[in-house]
Every structure is written in structure tokens, then in C-alpha cells.
């Protein structure tokens, strides 16, 4: 009944119904579990390529449409600030996107999802919070939680999460804990409403993520400045209740979408390990449960996408360009069952709710992407039949003068 009412409301307001990947906030209105019409890509500008600006690129994603696999349009934001992640507001009307270096938040109106419009630029994050590098945009009713990576004082990794209302007005800030085992580092944010539990993960600060990767990994002191924790929060009170040891920069957090499940999974970038965070009795625990590739070769897992039933996990590894699938039927013992090289460098991965389509993008960070012939910049769409990924289309972002393809979100035409 609640879903039907939400759909009716969307129709009455003329707002877009949207097909969804499985990793959106559970507070996002009216998940549509059919075919996506558009793929929105947040892309980093490249100097002397096109207009050189960060931009939101829209690609046709419905095989039955004339624009399938083609660039429908793009909206530039007026500068280049290390475009990274984005997220829908709870009503699906607006898409928020952030720049890790310019500290700006861009708000796009998706009333017509084929023609997004930049309607607001939020510039007060640093002044209001002292935080730098807006990374995760996670919808809650009427508000947006913004997870950040750094701070304006020393540009290190100690940071926090900010809360804005859907109008783009600042509401509150919450520092990540530095006591009781906390390192204060931030990255992703994810909530399990049934457990009133919010998880945050940890990466590194501006001083590290803006350096060339080859230079960074040779700096022993700098390599010590990566997060090694996840934090469990009481979501309603926004108070941290437990710091969990998860070494090696745990990145994206994926709660199992299956009703009743009380666990989330993450991948640690520097150690190539899968970690499970789970409630056992009244306690939250973290546990290493799997290995991704050969850790000695530093495959660098960068993004994960969990299936709608919580029984499978896609993992992209940047350095070897591989997309792997893990069977999560027993989340305590993930088993890799498939792998494929999907690019010379691969970063983000998004799958459709029905699990039949998978999208892969190429760029990690401007100064971390590979050089020369390995610097492919693309979005590739694949069909998945449970046995093999078969490429459906590719958009070459360099050829199209669009920049470096990073985060992706789906939308669909209005009901």
C-alpha cells in the first residue's frame, strides 16, 4: 500500500519514476524495479578536453529507445573540482553531487531526467563545518547526510558528516570519533533503518587523495595516514556507539537489502579483504570474511554492488581492471564464482535491481588514474545472464570530450 501511494504521488506531481541500482538509501521514494531509461554519470573535467569542466552526463540506457547507448546531454558546472560521488534526495526529484577539491555541492533538478538542470551550488560546507571533500550523499526524510573525507584546517583525514535539508540549507555537523579507538577518518555512510544503525567507513584526507598515486605509495609516512576503522552510530540520535577495527581503508558500505538481515559488507582497498559488520546479540562486530584477488599485487578494490536479495556481490578492482562476482549465500564465507577484465582501469560498478544489467566506469581520481594507453575513460554497459558479462554498449568519454567517468545513477521517464 505504501509503495502504491508513493507511485500515485509521483504521478500526481509529475516527478520522474526511476529504476534503481541496489545501493541507494532505503529512504529513497518508490523504488522502481524495472528497466532504467537513463544513466547519469558524474565526470571529472580534463584540462583542454572539451570545456574542461566537471559535468553530469546523461546516457540513454533503454535498449528499446533510439538514444540507447548514446549521450543524451551534459550539464557543466563552471569549473573543475575533482567530481566524485552523487546521490538522490529522498523524493528523487534532485541529484546532489560533490567535488572533493573545490568543496562544492551541486544540486541537479531531474524533473525531466533526459535534461537535468543545475539549480543550486552549495558553497558553505567548509565554513559551516570545517569539513572538506564531500563524498557520500545519503538521503533521509527531508534531508541529506553528507559524508566527507578531509578538513579545512590541516587537510588530513580527520573529518565528519554534515546534514543539510532538501533545500540545501545547513542543519548540523557530527565529528567522527577520535576516542575509544577512533581515527576520525571518513568515507561512506549507510543506514539500516530496522536496526536504527548507521555505519561510516574511512579513507584518507586531501593531502593524500590529491597526490599522484605513484608518488604517494613511495611515501611511507603518508601511507600510514589511511583509515582503519568503521563506526556504528545510533542513527536517530546521531551518536557514535562503537568503533570497529577494519584495517586497510574500508570503502563502500553495502547493507544486505533482504528484509530481516542485520549485516553489511565492505571491501578494504589497501588489504584486498572483504569485511562483514554484523549484530550479534546486542553487540556489533567486524570480521574479515574473504580475499579479493592476490593482495600481494594490490588489486585495489574500489567499488562494490550488492544484489537485491543480498546473495551476491560485484567487486571492481582498479589496478587489474577486473570485475569479480562473489556468492554471498553465506555472508560469513563469500566465494568468488566469476571474474572478467572489463577495462584497463575500472572503478565504479552499478547493477540494476533485477540483476540483469551491470554498468562499469573507469576513473578513480585525477591523480590516481593510469597514464598512456592504460588511461581509458569510459562507461561500459553489460548484460548479465548469471554466467557471463556481455558488453552491450560503450561510451568513450575521451572521444566524446566529456572527461573522466566516475559515479553513476539511474533514472527513468516520468510515469
Spans of all domains in the chain: 2-411
pLDDT digit string, tens, across residues 300-336 = 999 999 999 999 999 999 999 999 999 999 999 999 9
Angstrom distance (rounded) from CA 111 to CA 120: 14
Q: Tell me: pLDDT of 11 over 50.
A: no
CB 227 within 8 A of CB 202: yes
Query: What DSSP character marks residue 32?
Result: B
Report the percent of the chain where pLDDT is more than 70: 94
**Could you give the strand order of the β-sheet that contains 250-255, starting from the edge strand earlier in sequence?**
250-255, 263-268, 273-280, 283-291
Compute CA distances 175 → 18, 120, 172, whole Å: 33, 26, 10
pLDDT digit string, tens, across residues 165-184 = 999 999 999 999 999 999 99
Q: Tell me: pLDDT of 19 over 90.
A: no
* Burial bucket for residue 3 (CB in 10 Å: 0-12, 13-18, 19+): exposed
Query: What DSSP character marks residue 220?
Result: H
Angstrom distance (rounded) from CA 127 to CA 359: 36
Task: Please report which helix (H) or strand (E) contains residue 105, including its range.
Answer: strand 105-109
Average of pLDDT values for 380-394? Answer: 98
Average of pLDDT values for 51-56? Answer: 98
> Residue 413: which pLDDT band, with cuts at 50, 70 and 90?
confident
pLDDT digit string, tens, across residues 265-287 = 999 999 999 999 999 999 999 99
> Residue 32: which pLDDT band, with cuts at 50, 70 and 90?
low
Question: Longest C-alpha distance within the chain, in Å?
Answer: 58
Residue 49: the pLDDT is: 98
Residue 15: the pLDDT is: 38
CATH class given for the domain over 2-411? mainly beta
Angstrom distance (rounded) from CA 205 to CA 186: 9
- 308: its cell numbers: 537485491
Average of pLDDT values for 346-374? Answer: 96
Residue 30: the pLDDT is: 62
Burial 78-114 (b: 16+ CB within 10 A, else e): eebbbbbbbbbbbbbbbbbbbbbbbbbbbbbebeebe
Residue 23: the pLDDT is: 82
Average of pLDDT values for 124-147? Answer: 98
- pTM for the complete prediction? 0.94
Q: Tell me: pLDDT of 10 over 60.
A: no
Q: Which residue has the cell 573543475?
A: 80
Q: What are the residues whose beta carbons fall under 8 Å from the beta carbon of 389, sequence distance 6 or more?
A: 323, 338, 340, 342, 358, 382, 383
- 236: its cell numbers: 536517530
Task: Please report which helix (H) or strand (E) contains residue 223, including its range.
Answer: helix 220-223
> Residue 20: which pLDDT band, with cuts at 50, 70 and 90?
low
Amino acid at each position: 500500500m505504501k509503495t502504491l501511494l508513493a507511485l500515485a504521488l509521483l504521478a500526481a506531481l509529475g516527478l520522474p519514476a526511476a529504476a534503481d541500482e541496489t545501493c541507494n538509501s532505503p529512504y529513497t521514494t518508490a523504488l522502481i524495479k524495472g528497466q532504467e531509461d537513463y544513466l547519469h554519470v558524474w565526470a571529472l573535467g580534463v584540462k583542454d578536453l572539451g570545456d574542461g569542466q566537471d559535468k553530469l552526463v546523461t546516457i540513454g540506457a533503454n535498449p528499446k529507445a533510439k538514444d540507447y547507448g548514446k549521450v543524451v546531454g551534459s550539464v557543466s558546472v563552471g569549473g573543475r573540482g575533482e567530481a566524485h560521488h552523487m546521490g538522490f534526495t529522498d523524493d528523487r526529484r534532485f541529484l546532489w553531487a560533490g567535488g572533493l577539491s573545490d568543496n562544492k555541492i551541486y544540486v541537479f533538478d531531474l524533473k525531466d531526467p533526459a535534461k537535468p538542470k543545475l539549480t543550486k551550488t552549495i558553497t558553505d560546507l567548509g565554513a559551516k563545518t570545517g569539513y572538506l571533500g564531500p563524498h557520500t550523499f545519503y538521503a533521509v526524510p527531508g534531508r541529506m547526510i553528507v559524508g566527507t573525507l578531509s578538513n579545512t584546517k590541516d587537510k588530513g583525514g580527520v573529518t565528519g558528516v554534515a546534514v543539510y535539508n532538501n533545500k540545501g540549507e545547513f542543519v548540523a555537523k557530527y565529528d567522527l570519533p577520535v576516542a575509544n579507538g577512533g581515527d576520525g577518518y571518513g568515507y561512506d555512510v549507510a543506514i539500516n533503518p530496522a536496526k536504527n544503525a548507521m555505519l561510516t567507513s574511512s579513507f584518507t584526507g586531501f593531502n593524500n587523495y590529491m597526490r599522484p598515486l605513484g608518488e604517494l605509495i613511495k611515501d611511507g609516512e603518508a601511507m600510514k595516514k589511511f583509515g582503519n576503522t568503521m563506526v556504528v552510530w545510533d542513527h536517530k540520535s546521531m551518536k557514535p556507539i562503537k568503533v570497529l577495527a577494519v584495517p586497510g581503508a574500508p570503502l563502500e558500505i553495502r547493507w544486505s537489502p533482504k528484509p530481516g538481515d542485520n549485516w553489511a559488507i565492505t571491501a578494504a582497498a589497501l588489504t584486498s579483504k572483504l569485511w562483514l559488520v554484523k549484530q550479534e546479540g546486542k553487540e556489533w562486530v567486524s570480521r574479515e570474511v574473504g580475499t579479493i584477488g592476490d593482495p600481494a599485487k594490490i588489486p585495489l578494490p574500489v567499488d562494490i554492488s550488492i544484489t537485491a536479495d543480498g546473495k551476491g556481490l560485484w567487486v571492481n578492482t582498479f589496478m587489474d581492471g577486473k570485475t569479480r562476482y562473489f556468492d554471498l549465500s553465506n555472508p560469513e564465507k563469500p566465494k568468488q564464482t566469476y571474474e572478467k577484465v572489463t577495462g584497463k582501469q575500472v572503478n565504479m560498478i552499478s547493477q540494476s535491481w533485477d540483476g540483469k544489467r551491470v554498468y562499469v566506469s573507469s576513473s578513480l581520481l585525477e591523480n590516481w588514474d593510469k597514464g598512456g594507453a592504460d588511461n581509458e575513460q569510459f562507461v561500459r554497459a553489460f548484460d548479465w545472464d548469471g554466467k557471463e558479462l556481455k558488453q552491450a554498449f560503450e561510451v568513450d568519454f575521451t572521444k566524446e570530450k566529456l572527461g573522466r567517468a566516475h559515479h553513476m545513477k539511474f533514472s527513468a521517464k516520468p510515469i
